[in-house]
Amino acid sequence: MACPSLVPPNLRSYSFFNCCILLKAPILIHYFSVFPFQDDLEVHYAGFKTPHIHNLSDLVQENLGLQVRKFGRLQLPDTYVDSPNILVFQISARAPFRTDVAFISGTRSESSRVEERVSSLTGTSLTNQLKEKQREFDTKFEKSFNLVDKVDSESIVAGKAAIANLLGGIGYFFGQSKIAVSGDMLPGSHDNSILYWPAELYTAVPSRPFFPRGFLWDEGFHQLLIWRWDTHISLDIIGHWLDLMNIDGWIPREQILGVEALSKVPSDFVTQLPTNGNPPALLLALRDLVHGLKKNKFTAAESDAISSFVERAFVRLEAWFQWFNTTQSGI
Protein backbone atom coordinates (compact mmCIF):
# COMPACT_ATOMS: atom_id res chain seq x y z
CA MET A 1 0.00 0.00 0.00
CA ALA A 2 2.96 2.32 0.36
CA CYS A 3 2.98 5.09 -2.24
CA PRO A 4 6.49 5.27 -3.76
CA SER A 5 6.52 9.08 -3.72
CA LEU A 6 6.06 9.03 0.06
CA VAL A 7 8.87 6.60 0.87
CA PRO A 8 11.81 8.35 2.57
CA PRO A 9 15.23 7.44 1.09
CA ASN A 10 16.36 5.64 4.25
CA LEU A 11 13.39 3.26 4.05
CA ARG A 12 13.53 2.37 0.36
CA SER A 13 15.51 -0.81 1.05
CA TYR A 14 12.66 -2.18 3.12
CA SER A 15 9.80 -4.43 2.04
CA PHE A 16 6.35 -3.65 3.41
CA PHE A 17 3.79 -6.29 4.27
CA ASN A 18 0.33 -4.90 5.06
CA CYS A 19 -2.35 -7.03 6.65
CA CYS A 20 -5.97 -5.83 6.75
CA ILE A 21 -8.39 -7.34 9.25
CA LEU A 22 -12.08 -6.45 8.97
CA LEU A 23 -14.20 -6.85 12.09
CA LYS A 24 -17.81 -5.99 12.90
CA ALA A 25 -17.38 -5.60 16.65
CA PRO A 26 -15.18 -3.50 18.96
CA ILE A 27 -11.73 -5.02 19.26
CA LEU A 28 -8.57 -4.84 21.34
CA ILE A 29 -5.28 -4.36 19.56
CA HIS A 30 -3.30 -6.82 21.71
CA TYR A 31 -5.29 -9.76 20.32
CA PHE A 32 -3.10 -9.45 17.22
CA SER A 33 0.29 -11.19 17.43
CA VAL A 34 3.23 -11.34 15.04
CA PHE A 35 5.82 -14.10 15.16
CA PRO A 36 8.98 -12.93 13.37
CA PHE A 37 11.85 -15.03 12.09
CA GLN A 38 14.29 -12.12 12.41
CA ASP A 39 15.09 -9.39 14.95
CA ASP A 40 14.76 -6.16 12.95
CA LEU A 41 11.06 -6.56 12.13
CA GLU A 42 8.72 -3.67 13.07
CA VAL A 43 4.96 -3.75 13.52
CA HIS A 44 2.66 -0.72 13.43
CA TYR A 45 -1.11 -0.41 13.20
CA ALA A 46 -4.05 1.92 12.71
CA GLY A 47 -7.74 1.41 13.41
CA PHE A 48 -10.51 2.98 11.34
CA LYS A 49 -14.28 3.08 11.47
CA THR A 50 -15.90 3.19 8.05
CA PRO A 51 -19.13 1.80 6.54
CA HIS A 52 -17.30 0.81 3.34
CA ILE A 53 -14.02 -0.82 2.40
CA HIS A 54 -13.67 0.55 -1.13
CA ASN A 55 -11.95 3.63 0.31
CA LEU A 56 -9.56 1.66 2.52
CA SER A 57 -6.51 2.44 0.38
CA ASP A 58 -7.32 6.17 0.55
CA LEU A 59 -7.64 6.00 4.35
CA VAL A 60 -4.30 4.25 4.71
CA GLN A 61 -2.46 6.51 2.26
CA GLU A 62 -3.83 9.65 3.90
CA ASN A 63 -2.73 8.33 7.27
CA LEU A 64 0.75 7.46 6.01
CA GLY A 65 1.07 10.83 4.27
CA LEU A 66 0.22 12.61 7.53
CA GLN A 67 2.89 10.59 9.35
CA VAL A 68 5.48 11.50 6.73
CA ARG A 69 4.66 15.21 6.93
CA LYS A 70 4.64 15.26 10.74
CA PHE A 71 7.45 12.89 11.64
CA GLY A 72 9.28 12.10 8.39
CA ARG A 73 8.61 8.38 8.59
CA LEU A 74 6.36 6.07 6.60
CA GLN A 75 4.62 4.12 9.31
CA LEU A 76 1.15 3.79 10.77
CA PRO A 77 0.57 5.77 14.00
CA ASP A 78 -0.23 2.90 16.43
CA THR A 79 -3.59 4.46 17.27
CA TYR A 80 -7.22 3.61 16.60
CA VAL A 81 -10.59 5.33 16.85
CA ASP A 82 -13.30 4.21 19.26
CA SER A 83 -14.88 0.90 18.24
CA PRO A 84 -12.98 0.44 14.96
CA ASN A 85 -14.30 -2.05 12.43
CA ILE A 86 -11.13 -2.12 10.33
CA LEU A 87 -7.57 -2.63 11.54
CA VAL A 88 -4.58 -2.25 9.25
CA PHE A 89 -1.26 -3.70 10.37
CA GLN A 90 2.03 -2.74 8.78
CA ILE A 91 4.94 -5.14 9.13
CA SER A 92 8.29 -3.75 7.97
CA ALA A 93 11.55 -5.67 7.59
CA ARG A 94 14.53 -5.99 5.31
CA ALA A 95 13.85 -8.40 2.45
CA PRO A 96 13.83 -11.32 2.39
CA PHE A 97 11.91 -12.04 5.58
CA ARG A 98 9.32 -14.43 6.98
CA THR A 99 6.69 -13.94 9.64
CA ASP A 100 3.54 -15.64 10.88
CA VAL A 101 0.48 -13.55 11.70
CA ALA A 102 -2.19 -14.78 14.08
CA PHE A 103 -5.42 -13.12 15.14
CA ILE A 104 -7.68 -14.81 17.65
CA SER A 105 -10.91 -13.75 19.37
CA GLY A 106 -12.55 -14.68 22.65
CA THR A 107 -9.49 -14.18 24.85
CA ARG A 108 -11.25 -12.68 27.85
CA SER A 109 -12.38 -15.94 29.44
CA GLU A 110 -10.10 -17.98 31.70
CA SER A 111 -10.48 -20.99 29.40
CA SER A 112 -9.49 -19.11 26.24
CA ARG A 113 -6.25 -21.18 25.85
CA VAL A 114 -4.52 -18.27 24.11
CA GLU A 115 -1.02 -19.78 23.94
CA GLU A 116 -2.33 -23.14 22.74
CA ARG A 117 -4.48 -21.56 20.05
CA VAL A 118 -1.75 -19.23 18.85
CA SER A 119 0.72 -22.13 18.73
CA SER A 120 -1.69 -24.12 16.53
CA LEU A 121 -1.86 -21.21 14.07
CA THR A 122 1.84 -20.41 13.73
CA GLY A 123 5.27 -21.95 13.28
CA THR A 124 5.64 -25.66 12.50
CA SER A 125 1.95 -26.35 13.07
CA LEU A 126 0.94 -23.77 10.47
CA THR A 127 3.59 -25.01 8.02
CA ASN A 128 2.34 -28.60 8.35
CA GLN A 129 -1.29 -27.56 7.86
CA LEU A 130 -0.39 -25.54 4.76
CA LYS A 131 1.52 -28.51 3.32
CA GLU A 132 -1.47 -30.78 3.94
CA LYS A 133 -3.80 -28.31 2.22
CA GLN A 134 -1.35 -28.11 -0.68
CA ARG A 135 -1.43 -31.90 -1.03
CA GLU A 136 -5.23 -31.87 -0.93
CA PHE A 137 -5.33 -29.18 -3.59
CA ASP A 138 -2.89 -31.09 -5.86
CA THR A 139 -4.92 -34.30 -5.49
CA LYS A 140 -8.21 -32.56 -6.24
CA PHE A 141 -6.69 -30.75 -9.22
CA GLU A 142 -5.54 -34.00 -10.81
CA LYS A 143 -8.86 -35.72 -10.06
CA SER A 144 -10.83 -32.81 -11.53
CA PHE A 145 -8.80 -32.21 -14.70
CA ASN A 146 -6.67 -35.36 -15.25
CA LEU A 147 -3.78 -33.57 -16.95
CA VAL A 148 -0.69 -35.52 -15.88
CA ASP A 149 -0.43 -37.55 -19.10
CA LYS A 150 -1.70 -34.76 -21.35
CA VAL A 151 0.51 -31.71 -20.73
CA ASP A 152 3.96 -30.90 -19.38
CA SER A 153 4.71 -30.01 -15.75
CA GLU A 154 5.01 -26.27 -16.43
CA SER A 155 1.52 -26.23 -17.93
CA ILE A 156 0.18 -28.02 -14.85
CA VAL A 157 1.76 -25.40 -12.59
CA ALA A 158 0.12 -22.66 -14.69
CA GLY A 159 -3.19 -24.51 -14.58
CA LYS A 160 -3.09 -24.76 -10.79
CA ALA A 161 -2.39 -21.04 -10.53
CA ALA A 162 -5.27 -20.29 -12.92
CA ILE A 163 -7.89 -22.37 -11.09
CA ALA A 164 -6.69 -21.12 -7.69
CA ASN A 165 -7.05 -17.49 -8.79
CA LEU A 166 -10.41 -18.17 -10.40
CA LEU A 167 -11.77 -19.80 -7.23
CA GLY A 168 -10.19 -17.09 -5.08
CA GLY A 169 -12.03 -14.46 -7.09
CA ILE A 170 -15.49 -15.84 -6.30
CA GLY A 171 -17.38 -13.30 -4.22
CA TYR A 172 -20.77 -12.23 -2.94
CA PHE A 173 -22.25 -8.92 -4.05
CA PHE A 174 -25.43 -7.04 -3.15
CA GLY A 175 -26.96 -3.90 -4.61
CA GLN A 176 -29.05 -2.48 -7.46
CA SER A 177 -28.13 -2.23 -11.12
CA LYS A 178 -28.87 0.99 -12.98
CA ILE A 179 -31.05 0.36 -16.06
CA ALA A 180 -31.64 2.72 -18.98
CA VAL A 181 -35.22 3.52 -19.95
CA SER A 182 -36.76 5.66 -22.66
CA GLY A 183 -37.46 9.33 -21.93
CA ASP A 184 -41.21 8.75 -22.25
CA MET A 185 -41.17 6.57 -19.14
CA LEU A 186 -39.70 9.36 -16.97
CA PRO A 187 -41.24 12.65 -18.17
CA GLY A 188 -39.47 15.74 -16.82
CA SER A 189 -36.47 13.77 -15.60
CA HIS A 190 -32.91 14.40 -16.79
CA ASP A 191 -31.84 10.91 -15.73
CA ASN A 192 -33.28 8.34 -18.11
CA SER A 193 -32.58 5.39 -15.85
CA ILE A 194 -34.17 3.42 -13.04
CA LEU A 195 -32.81 1.07 -10.40
CA TYR A 196 -33.21 -2.68 -10.71
CA TRP A 197 -34.58 -4.45 -7.63
CA PRO A 198 -32.12 -5.02 -4.73
CA ALA A 199 -30.34 -8.22 -5.72
CA GLU A 200 -27.58 -10.52 -4.53
CA LEU A 201 -25.04 -12.21 -6.74
CA TYR A 202 -22.59 -15.01 -6.01
CA THR A 203 -20.12 -15.10 -8.88
CA ALA A 204 -16.56 -15.31 -10.07
CA VAL A 205 -14.99 -12.17 -11.56
CA PRO A 206 -12.72 -11.57 -14.58
CA SER A 207 -10.09 -9.72 -12.56
CA ARG A 208 -10.05 -8.96 -8.85
CA PRO A 209 -7.99 -5.74 -9.08
CA PHE A 210 -9.48 -4.29 -12.29
CA PHE A 211 -12.92 -5.88 -12.84
CA PRO A 212 -14.11 -7.05 -9.41
CA ARG A 213 -17.72 -7.64 -10.46
CA GLY A 214 -19.84 -10.11 -12.37
CA PHE A 215 -19.94 -10.23 -16.18
CA LEU A 216 -22.61 -12.46 -17.71
CA TRP A 217 -20.62 -13.62 -20.74
CA ASP A 218 -17.42 -14.20 -18.79
CA GLU A 219 -19.22 -16.24 -16.18
CA GLY A 220 -20.18 -18.92 -18.67
CA PHE A 221 -16.49 -19.56 -19.39
CA HIS A 222 -15.62 -19.43 -15.68
CA GLN A 223 -18.15 -22.18 -15.04
CA LEU A 224 -16.52 -24.48 -17.60
CA LEU A 225 -13.74 -24.85 -15.02
CA ILE A 226 -15.63 -24.35 -11.78
CA TRP A 227 -18.18 -27.12 -12.34
CA ARG A 228 -15.31 -29.57 -12.73
CA TRP A 229 -13.94 -28.43 -9.39
CA ASP A 230 -17.22 -28.29 -7.45
CA THR A 231 -20.62 -28.78 -9.06
CA HIS A 232 -22.48 -27.33 -6.07
CA ILE A 233 -20.59 -24.03 -6.25
CA SER A 234 -21.20 -23.90 -9.99
CA LEU A 235 -24.94 -24.52 -9.70
CA ASP A 236 -25.17 -21.91 -6.95
CA ILE A 237 -23.46 -19.31 -9.14
CA ILE A 238 -25.56 -20.11 -12.23
CA GLY A 239 -28.71 -19.94 -10.10
CA HIS A 240 -27.78 -16.50 -8.79
CA TRP A 241 -27.35 -15.23 -12.35
CA LEU A 242 -30.71 -16.64 -13.46
CA ASP A 243 -32.32 -14.95 -10.45
CA LEU A 244 -31.36 -11.61 -12.05
CA MET A 245 -33.64 -12.22 -15.04
CA ASN A 246 -36.51 -9.76 -15.49
CA ILE A 247 -40.02 -10.56 -16.73
CA ASP A 248 -38.91 -10.20 -20.36
CA GLY A 249 -36.15 -12.80 -20.00
CA TRP A 250 -33.32 -10.25 -20.00
CA ILE A 251 -30.31 -10.42 -17.66
CA PRO A 252 -28.15 -7.28 -17.22
CA ARG A 253 -24.81 -8.21 -18.71
CA GLU A 254 -22.61 -6.38 -16.18
CA GLN A 255 -23.43 -6.47 -12.48
CA ILE A 256 -22.24 -3.34 -10.67
CA LEU A 257 -23.70 -4.04 -7.25
CA GLY A 258 -22.83 -2.00 -4.18
CA VAL A 259 -20.69 1.02 -3.42
CA GLU A 260 -17.39 -0.81 -3.77
CA ALA A 261 -18.25 -2.09 -7.26
CA LEU A 262 -19.50 1.36 -8.31
CA SER A 263 -16.22 2.94 -7.22
CA LYS A 264 -14.39 0.90 -9.87
CA VAL A 265 -16.57 1.89 -12.84
CA PRO A 266 -16.63 5.25 -14.71
CA SER A 267 -20.12 6.75 -14.49
CA ASP A 268 -20.60 6.59 -18.27
CA PHE A 269 -20.47 2.79 -18.14
CA VAL A 270 -22.70 2.12 -15.13
CA THR A 271 -26.11 2.19 -16.83
CA GLN A 272 -27.14 -1.11 -18.46
CA LEU A 273 -29.12 -1.13 -21.72
CA PRO A 274 -32.01 -3.63 -21.80
CA THR A 275 -31.61 -3.93 -25.57
CA ASN A 276 -28.08 -5.31 -25.18
CA GLY A 277 -27.36 -8.92 -24.42
CA ASN A 278 -24.25 -11.02 -23.96
CA PRO A 279 -24.13 -14.42 -25.66
CA PRO A 280 -25.67 -17.04 -23.31
CA ALA A 281 -22.33 -18.59 -22.36
CA LEU A 282 -23.80 -20.10 -19.18
CA LEU A 283 -25.44 -22.66 -21.45
CA LEU A 284 -21.98 -24.07 -22.23
CA ALA A 285 -21.56 -25.16 -18.62
CA LEU A 286 -25.14 -26.41 -18.38
CA ARG A 287 -24.61 -28.45 -21.56
CA ASP A 288 -21.53 -30.08 -20.01
CA LEU A 289 -23.41 -30.86 -16.83
CA VAL A 290 -26.33 -32.47 -18.70
CA HIS A 291 -23.95 -34.49 -20.88
CA GLY A 292 -22.15 -35.61 -17.73
CA LEU A 293 -25.44 -36.82 -16.30
CA LYS A 294 -26.09 -38.93 -19.39
CA LYS A 295 -22.61 -40.51 -19.10
CA ASN A 296 -22.87 -41.12 -15.33
CA LYS A 297 -19.85 -38.93 -14.55
CA PHE A 298 -21.23 -37.67 -11.23
CA THR A 299 -21.92 -39.13 -7.81
CA ALA A 300 -25.50 -39.86 -6.86
CA ALA A 301 -25.69 -36.69 -4.75
CA GLU A 302 -24.24 -34.57 -7.57
CA SER A 303 -26.60 -36.12 -10.13
CA ASP A 304 -29.62 -35.39 -7.94
CA ALA A 305 -28.51 -31.79 -7.43
CA ILE A 306 -27.94 -31.21 -11.15
CA SER A 307 -31.24 -32.82 -12.18
CA SER A 308 -33.19 -30.84 -9.59
CA PHE A 309 -31.51 -27.59 -10.62
CA VAL A 310 -32.13 -28.03 -14.35
CA GLU A 311 -35.78 -28.87 -13.68
CA ARG A 312 -36.28 -25.76 -11.55
CA ALA A 313 -34.29 -23.53 -13.90
CA PHE A 314 -35.97 -24.65 -17.12
CA VAL A 315 -38.69 -21.96 -17.06
CA ARG A 316 -36.08 -19.20 -16.83
CA LEU A 317 -33.82 -20.81 -19.40
CA GLU A 318 -36.74 -20.94 -21.81
CA ALA A 319 -37.55 -17.26 -21.12
CA TRP A 320 -33.90 -16.41 -21.73
CA PHE A 321 -33.95 -18.25 -25.04
CA GLN A 322 -37.14 -16.47 -26.11
CA TRP A 323 -35.60 -13.07 -25.28
CA PHE A 324 -32.60 -13.84 -27.47
CA ASN A 325 -34.76 -15.27 -30.22
CA THR A 326 -37.01 -12.22 -30.42
CA THR A 327 -34.62 -9.33 -29.67
CA GLN A 328 -31.31 -10.53 -31.10
CA SER A 329 -32.62 -12.41 -34.15
CA GLY A 330 -30.51 -10.39 -36.59
CA ILE A 331 -27.25 -11.58 -35.02
pLDDT tens digit string along 184-215? 555 555 678 899 999 999 999 999 888 889 99
- Please name the amino acid found at residue 145: F
DSSP assignment, residue 207?
A: B
Q: Rounded mean pLDDT of 132-144?
A: 96
The CATH fold of domain 169-327: Glycosyltransferase (1.50.10)
Collapsed DSSP state (helix, strand, coil) of residue 211: strand
pLDDT above 90: residue 183: no
State the pLDDT at residue 109: 77
Please give the Cα distance from 276 to 324 (Å, whole number): 10
In one-letter notation, the amino acid at residue 68 is V
Residue ranges, CATH 1.50.10.10, the chain: 169-327
**Sign of torsion, CA 274 278 279 285?**
negative
Q: Which residues of 274-299 are buried (b: 16+ CB within 10 A; e: fewer)?
A: beebbebbbeebbebbeebeeeeebe
Task: Give the count of beta carbons closer than 10 Å to the beta carbon of residue 317.
Answer: 18
Tell me which range, 27-41, 43-57, 76-90, 238-252, is most confidently predicted by mean pLDDT: 238-252
Give the range with max mean pLDDT: 124-128, 298-302, 327-331: 298-302
pTM of the full structure: 0.80
Contact 117, 31 (CB under 8 A): no
What's the pLDDT at 30?
A: 40
Q: How far apart are CA 144 and CA 228, in angstroms?
A: 6
